[in-house]
Structure 1
Amino acid sequence: MNRSSVKELLQSDKFLQEVHVKGWVRTFRSNRFIALNDGSTINNIQCVVDFENTNEALLKRITTSAAVSITGTLVESQGKGQKVEINVTNLEILGDSNPDEYPIQPKKHSLEFLRENAHLRVRTNTFSAVMRVRSKLSFAVHKYFQENGFNYVNTPIITGSDAEGAGEMFKVTNFEANKAPLNEEGQIDYKQDFFGKETNLTVSGQLEAETYAMALGKVYTFGPTFRAENSNTTRHLAEFWMIEPEVAFMDLDGNMDLSEDFIKSVLGYVLEHCKDDLAFLDQRLTQEEKSKPQAQRSDMSLLEKLKFVVDNNFKRVSYTEAIDILRNSKPNKKKKFQFPINEWGADLQSEHERFLVEKHFKCPVILFDYPADIKAFYMRLNEDGKTVRAMDVLFPGIGEIVGGAQREERLDVLKEKMNALNIDEKELWWYLDTRKFGTAVHSGFGLGFERLVLFTTGMSNIRDVIPFPRTPQNAEF
């Protein structure tokens, strides 16, 4: 007999048919009622065991997380909250689970405890819901770009360049620790290393994606990136995934159009295809908010936040206008901001971004034309000589979620900016070549995938939206 998924059976109305299902026991009560889940949905299906005709030794093996195979008759449920249930005619234990040793018992566990058991935490309702949403978001990303004429490009994970200029990168080497050869200056001689030069794990595929955009027109990357930042905040990971489209012949206005359309599309997709999981996560977040002080509670539920983004036009505001708004705002005048806004040129913090979105404009915001001094070298310099064609998309509850820009396509200006920042032209000769041979206006943006999953699921810690988080002092599993 073909095996059905729990999701299929819960949606079925073909009563009195024989069905076959496999999954893991969530709970077993009264020696009769099994709550079975197979990962296809957050909802369990109730399986009713005829305990009088079931071997007592077998009943003792039906414990939380045991893997079982069940054959039975699908019937209309007699209980509340479910349409169907299975009257079990045959039950087989596929894998035992010792209840005295299994750490994820059917009770509330702290998120920190579950992180310590990341290999098992996906068996809980919260993490199974988060990971199904993550999966659907990932599909929606590819779906959007593929349906809009983009080519998927796999950019290098090992790189000899630092796209961000931050210097916080993981080195890649095959030198033995404390045995690296030195050159005449007493420095490590990377010419003898595996790649013949100093290499690192990438922080971004943007620069390489730009070269492909200048041939294929519209490209995107979606892959792992790494940052050796010694940060233990709820918003930082050492290993994370980045979505980075690059488009030739597109200016900043087109870039803002693309980012808004893309975000609305992928969020709209999960709203349509993850209804049960989002309903559960919405309810979970509502309960979490109740435990916070009134002043720290969100004004919107999770579903309201998602619809807030999908249903509203994004307000486009220059950095200069935003600074004026923030400088004259009540929180700034009353010194409620942790980082007061005093003058033009300040690097905006999450509290400022959230004020603009949640309090002032009451819609998602795209800020553009930032000071050149606080942005990367590859962003196009405006005619004023002090701002660049950068843009950030700001969301409620999270602040910046997308960062992008029109790229500097003028060879002479790009060289000047690189020299001012002591970026060696020889290291990026290939990047400069794209400005020598058929240069053109082009733009793109970067979106940290985990940041998007964090927003979509309502989780508060980014370590809880990636299967196995990599953070300082933690590379378990």
Structure 2
Amino acid sequence: MDRPRVSRILSDGQPGEPVEISGWVRTRRDSKDGFSFVELNDGSCMANLQLVIDSSVPGYAETIKNVTTGSSIKITGEIKESPGKKQRVEVHASTLELIGTADVESYPLQKKRHSFEFLREIAHLRPRTNTFGAIARVRNAASAAIHNFFQERGFLYVHTPVITTSDCEGAGEMFQVTTLLHDDKPPKSLDYTEDFFGKRASLTVSGQLEAEIYATSVGECYTFGPTFRAENSNTTRHLAEFWMIEPEMPFYELPQNMQLAEDFVRSVIKMVLEKCPDDMQFFNDRIDKTVLETLKNITENEFLRVSYTDAIEILEQSGKKWEYPVSWGQDLQSEHERFLTEQHFKQPIILFDYPRTIKPFYMRCNDDNKTVRAMDVLVPRIGEIIGGSQREERYDVLLDRMKEQDLNPDEYWWYLELRKFGSVPHSGFGLGFERLILLLTGMQNIRDVIPFPRTPKNAEF
């Protein structure tokens, strides 16, 4: 006798089939006729499995009273056709084992709707709810889809370091890693030659620079791992710890980079829709009624290519009053990105050729000396979901860009050397995984699409 998950029993279980199943109790209803209905969930799918446990089950009278919401049980029994309309099959128990009790008075997840704010306070229990169980399954399917996309195309999965001495973005918002800190010694006075690594080190904000090493050695590669930014932003769009997907491709120029990014987004969305239909329908019904429509728009429309300069002109001529004024040379804000995708073009777009003054040092300069070969993929409801560029492969230009942004070239000696020994045009992009999950689920707060959010003043669990 096997031990299937609830999802398998509900989809493929056959009447007369013996089963053993374990999980957590959602509800229990007792009948006057001497049996109980128990709704069991094991996290494998959205739906609960109905168990019918009658008084002939050994130990029924002593055990059933402790089978309360939140408790864990194991039963053996037989699959039967269900007379009810809500489910195809149910399981009639022949044995019942109470694994773990749940105190009725203190168990916080009773049969009612809880606010997402409250559920963040009990992140150790929120995966048991419908919403967060569905988010977990969608994250899993999206992760698999990402690896599948790159593996099918021959990309190499590279593990880049979590601890680094390079600030990829040049913004300085990095979490310092040290063994020297003491209450009576402020960080600025520390002698980092005596530190664990012999120099100042931080948690990585990106694996891109290291991925470029492998891209210019073994070909197309990608990273998929945690990144950290000490940005003191307590908003619905920012996390201090989040996951990034960063492919790097040698011999790719900007047009090929944009096409790969488009193919990537569309492929991942399609696979999640295929693998998690019930969860995706739940998000559309309960969270945001435009989720499936938005995703259909993305998967069925080619992404328009629009220059940054043209986008600024469209925004300036829109007649709208912006919270953040629009002018050439300023970075676009979410309100501008969403206007372009939701109101003006009404579909995904890729903006390219941004002003060099607002982009990092590693992006390739165009011949006009005003713009760089950067690109941002914008989608409805989210705005920017991918940022990328063709990388600067010319040694002298890259060195000048570092100095222009007050970076010490000595700290990037190895990155510069890649431009001295067989340099080639190459490109890449980055996608924040949690931004993707926001798009897929319709959730409004990024803290609700990662299992354990890390934000200013909050590092619980």
TM-score (norm 1): 0.93
Kindly indicate whether the alpha-carbon contact (under 8 Å) linking 2:180 and 2:190 is maintained by their aligned counterparts in 1: no
Q: Match for residue 44 of structure 1?
A: 48
Displacement of 1:51 in angstroms is: 4.1
Q: Match for residue 146 of structure 1?
A: 151
Describe the superposition over 1:14-59 as per-residue Cα deviations: whole angstroms up to 9, x where unpaired.
Answer: 2122221111111112351111111111111111121476632211
Kindly indicate whether the alpha-carbon contact (under 8 Å) linking 1:285 and 1:301 is maintained by their aligned counterparts in 2: no
Q: Match for residue 380 of structure 2?
A: 396
Q: Match for residue 27 of structure 1?
A: 27
1:339 maps to amino acid: Y
Q: Match for residue 454 of structure 1?
A: 438
Query: Is the aligned partner of 1:167 residue 2:172?
Result: yes
1:192 maps to amino acid: E
Query: Is the aligned partner of 1:115 residue 2:120?
Result: yes
Query: SS of 1:24's equivalent?
Result: strand
Query: Is the aligned partner of 1:78 residue 2:63?
Result: no
Q: 1:281 aligns with which of 283, 300, 305?
A: 283
Partners of 2:419 and 2:287 in 1: how far apart?
49
Displacement of 1:181 in angstroms is: 9.4
Describe the superposition over 1:59-92 as per-residue Cα deviations: whole angstroms up to 9, x where unpaired.
Answer: 1111011111111221111111210011122111
Q: Match for residue 324 of structure 1?
A: 313
Partners of 1:95 and 1:234 in 2: how far apart?
36
Q: Match for residue 129 of structure 2?
A: 124
Q: 1:250 aligns with which of 241, 248, 252?
A: 252
Q: Match for residue 301 of structure 1?
A: 290
Q: Match for residue 432 of structure 1?
A: 416
Kindly indicate whether the alpha-carbon contact (under 8 Å) linking 1:255 and 1:406 is maintained by their aligned counterparts in 2: yes
Following superposition of structure 1 onto structure 2, how do residues 232-251 of structure 1 map, counting pairs within 5 Å?
232-251=234-253
Partners of 2:195 and 2:43 in 1: how far apart?
46
2:341 maps to amino acid: V
Kindly indicate whether the alpha-carbon contact (under 8 Å) linking 2:54 and 2:60 is maintained by their aligned counterparts in 1: no
Greater Cα offset, 403-412 or 414-423: 414-423
Displacement of 1:377 in angstroms is: 0.7
Partners of 2:139 and 2:12 in 1: how far apart?
26
Structure 1 vs Structure 2 CA RMSD = 1.4
Partners of 1:361 and 1:29 in 2: how far apart?
53
Q: Match for residue 2 of structure 1?
A: 2
Query: SS of 1:330's equivalent?
Result: coil
Q: Match for residue 135 of structure 1?
A: 140
Partners of 2:185 and 2:394 in 1: how far apart?
40
Q: Match for residue 292 of structure 1?
A: none
Following superposition of structure 1 onto structure 2, how do residues 12-23 of structure 1 map, counting pairs within 5 Å?
12-23=12-23
Q: Match for residue 222 of structure 2?
A: 220
Displacement of 1:13 in angstroms is: 5.0
Query: SS of 2:431's equivalent?
Result: strand
Kindly indicate whether the alpha-carbon contact (under 8 Å) linking 1:180 and 1:189 is maintained by their aligned counterparts in 2: no
* Greater than 2 Å deviation, 4+ residue runs: 51-57, 178-182
Partners of 2:406 and 2:329 in 1: how far apart?
22
Q: Match for residue 261 of structure 2?
A: 259
Displacement of 1:192 in angstroms is: 0.8
- Over 3 Å counting, the alpha-carbon distance change for 1:215 and 1:89 in structure 2 is same
1:457 maps to amino acid: T
Aligned residues: 456
Question: Tell me, which stretches of 5 or more residues in structure 1 are unaligned?
Answer: 287-299
Kindly indicate whether the alpha-carbon contact (under 8 Å) linking 2:60 and 2:96 is maintained by their aligned counterparts in 1: no
Kindly indicate whether the alpha-carbon contact (under 8 Å) linking 2:167 and 2:205 is maintained by their aligned counterparts in 1: yes
Partners of 1:200 and 1:87 in 2: how far apart?
56
Q: 1:60 aligns with which of 58, 65, 71?
A: 65
Partners of 1:179 and 1:346 in 2: how far apart?
42
Describe the superposition over 1:320-364 as per-residue Cα deviations: whole angstroms up to 9, x where unpaired.
Answer: 010111100132xxx2x21232x3112111011011101111110
2:219 maps to amino acid: G
2:358 maps to amino acid: I
Q: Match for residue 295 of structure 1?
A: none
Displacement of 1:94 in angstroms is: 1.1
Partners of 2:201 and 2:316 in 1: how far apart?
43
Displacement of 1:188 in angstroms is: 2.2
Displacement of 1:421 in angstroms is: 1.4
Query: SS of 1:225's equivalent?
Result: strand
Query: SS of 2:411's equivalent?
Result: coil
Q: Match for residue 200 of structure 1?
A: 202
Query: SS of 1:244's equivalent?
Result: strand
Displacement of 1:104 in angstroms is: 1.3
Partners of 2:215 and 2:62 in 1: how far apart?
64
Kindly indicate whether the alpha-carbon contact (under 8 Å) linking 1:181 and 1:192 is maintained by their aligned counterparts in 2: no
Describe the superposition over 1:94-122 as per-residue Cα deviations: whole angstroms up to 9, x where unpaired.
Answer: 11111111111121111111000000000
2:114 maps to amino acid: H
TM-score (norm 2): 0.96
Following superposition of structure 1 onto structure 2, how do residues 412-423 of structure 1 map, counting pairs within 5 Å?
412-423=396-407
Q: Match for residue 291 of structure 1?
A: none
Question: Tell me, which stretches of 5 or more residues in structure 2 are unaligned?
Answer: none
Displacement of 1:307 in angstroms is: 1.3
Query: SS of 2:418's equivalent?
Result: helix
Displacement of 1:187 in angstroms is: 3.5
In percent, how many aligned pairs have the same letter? 58
